[in-house]
Amino acid sequence: MRHIDEDTITQAVIARHTAAQDARLREVMTSLVQHLHAFAREVRLTDGEWLKGIRFLAECGRLCSDRRQEFVLLSDTLGLSMLVTALNHRKPSGCTEATTARPFHDGDAPCSDTRAETPLAGTEPLYVRGRVCALDGAPVAGAEVRIRHSEENNTLTSAADGTFQFKCPVPAPHTIPHDGPVGRMLQALGRHPWRPAHLHFMISAPGYERLVTHVFRSGSTYLDSDAVFGVRRSLEAEWVRQEPGPTPDGLTSDLPFYTLEFAFVLNTTKGDTPWMPMQ
Amino acid sequence: MRHIDEDTITQAVIARHTAAQDARLREVMTSLVQHLHAFAREVRLTDGEWLKGIRFLAECGRLCSDRRQEFVLLSDTLGLSMLVTALNHRKPSGCTEATTARPFHDGDAPCSDTRAETPLAGTEPLYVRGRVCALDGAPVAGAEVRIRHSEENNTLTSAADGTFQFKCPVPAPHTIPHDGPVGRMLQALGRHPWRPAHLHFMISAPGYERLVTHVFRSGSTYLDSDAVFGVRRSLEAEWVRQEPGPTPDGLTSDLPFYTLEFAFVLNTTKGDTPWMPMQ
């Protein structure tokens, strides 16, 4: 294929991959090249736009560290992360739906100011009571429950009746990191960087598909415009305001507080691949 | 759009861009999101493959500097650079065709060992005589001619008859930088990193479209498998071997040498955008 022009180049690139030993890699790259080229043709991408794109990617790369992954942000804000999650975690009706795993991707280090989703936690405490169960309602004991809220990670284990409990500051809406190229992209697109109030959960138990999900606060701002497209109706829950008095941990509060109950219904599985942190 | 799933997410992302003030940006991003999502759906991209992709991009980013641009390499080796060039520089038949501009994208610094296309220049000299002309054959005097060969850049100006001349070591096939993630990608795809022997030219003259192109050595290895898909038949030329004797610069050579003649036919234009170096 010596003479290559705008009509023949896509086939020329694909034809170059026939020697790839990994058939799946060949399949993925063939589709990638076809769509990349189709995009350039469809919009008739200019030299200057191409160059802007190259510079944008390089700037994303410069920001990446073990504290921040700008390409994950890019994938999240373009809806790719949520699409991949949806494609890979189809579940029987009744199981708790999965969402993007972003905050679990950065080696689980607590947020720092520079990389963080910016938490705006309220001062009232939220008492959470979760219950891990199977699709038939049977409790799942001994499940590992990783939680991320505001600036902390916790790991708990579900009890014999499948329950786990913890207390955290009431989460508020917060922004994804938006001081980099992805933030500028959102701004140019007329989009905000906010996420509705939520908690993150990753729940693992032998014999079940690992569940990575959120629980969103019902009625929170930004439920209709989550910057990373993570909201699913089934994951909204009422965070119930309680007057001062006895709290779920057996103590007493002089201030109002909130309670949240949520059942996490796991899907059975043939076995997950090990969890791969980002770095 | 509160409930997002694998069927609704693409439309949800696109709908979020209606507030973008720049209509062209909206157009480009709409197409980009559609093709990105179509790719993920078509191959049913797995969580692990998504993560490999994120890591690949981050690694490309880590290599980028003012000495190297791994994302340009990626674009080149996936045929995107050449496609964008072809889309933006359609010319009337008879004009010299354009190719990718890669070596002119790095601030024009001469190659260093770390970032360089690896030259394997022969020891014999090549005497090049170019001629810059319009489509009707009229010479273009005073054109700025930037040349890149082996490890050097030169800038010349065309004479009253449109000609320019220079001498350089005979270029040989060479590799693109392949010690990074793009090199590993090529290897996994069963591809080599070589380019056929060539010279680079960038020719600018008032009233004409800037021409960025190569001249390839006729018969060179890798003409059929250029790693960056830059070869066009019209850009191949005979590099004629001459026996020892008088050389085009009026001197005498005791060794054999090569001569090359090539006419660069410029397209008229309404005016180019300024050339934008990569950094």
Query: B212-252: per-residue pLDDT in tens?
Result: 999 999 999 999 999 999 999 999 999 999 999 999 999 99
Contact between B82 and A36 using a beta-carbon 8 Å cutoff: no
pLDDT of residue B258: 96
Cα–Cα distance for residue pair B125/A64, rounded to 1 Å: 46
Mean of per-residue pLDDT scores for chain A = 88
Q: What is the pLDDT of residues A222-240, one digit of tens each?
A: 999 999 999 999 999 999 9
| Closest chain A residue to the Cα of B7, Cα to Cα | A83
Using an 8 Å Cβ cutoff, are B183 and B76 in contact?
A: no
Residue range A51-69: average pLDDT?
A: 93
When pLDDT is cut at 50, 70 and 90, the band that residue B148 belongs to is: confident
Cα–Cα distance for residue pair A176/B57, rounded to 1 Å: 20
- The two three-digit tokens of residue B32, written as one number: 């980009």
When pLDDT is cut at 50, 70 and 90, the band that residue A67 belongs to is: confident
- Look at residue A119 and tell me whether its pLDDT is greater than 80: no
Nearest Cα residue to A229 out of A107, A120, A56, A73: A73
Residue appearing with tokens 């030299």: A47
List Cβ neighbours of A270 (8 Å cut-off, separation of 6 or more): none
SS3 assignment, position A127: strand
Nearest Cα residue to B44 out of A28, A276, A92: A28
Highest-confidence range of A51-60, A141-150, B262-271, by mean pLDDT?
Answer: A51-60
Q: Is A23 an interface residue toward B (CB < 8 Å)?
A: no
How far B229 CA lies from chain A's nearest CA (Å)? 7
Cα–Cα distance for residue pair B141/B131, rounded to 1 Å: 9
- Percent pLDDT > 70 in chain A is 87
Best residue of B70, B84, B90 to probe chain A, by most A CBs closer than 10 Å = B84
Q: Is A93 an interface residue toward B (CB < 8 Å)?
A: no
Taking contacts as CB-CB distances below 8 angstroms, the residues of chain B near A273 are: 47-48
Quote the ipTM score: 0.90
Using an 8 Å Cβ cutoff, are B28 and A185 in contact?
A: no
Element (H, E) at A237: strand A236-237
Cα–Cα distance for residue pair B10/A269, rounded to 1 Å: 28
Using an 8 Å Cβ cutoff, are B80 and B102 in contact?
A: no
- Percent pLDDT > 70 in chain B is 87
pLDDT of residue B103: 64
For residue B32, give Cα distances in angstroms to A228, B28, B221.
17, 6, 36
SS3 assignment, position A198: strand
B200 vs A270 pLDDT, higher one: B200
Using an 8 Å Cβ cutoff, are B210 and B203 in contact?
A: yes
Residue range B32-44: average pLDDT?
A: 98
Cα–Cα distance for residue pair A117/A222, rounded to 1 Å: 15
pTM: 0.90
Taking contacts as CB-CB distances below 8 angstroms, the residues of chain A near B231 are: 2-4
Nearest Cα residue to A103 out of A182, A166, A176, A167: A176
When pLDDT is cut at 50, 70 and 90, the band that residue B112 belongs to is: very low
pLDDT of residue B153: 79
Cα–Cα distance for residue pair A123/A140, rounded to 1 Å: 32
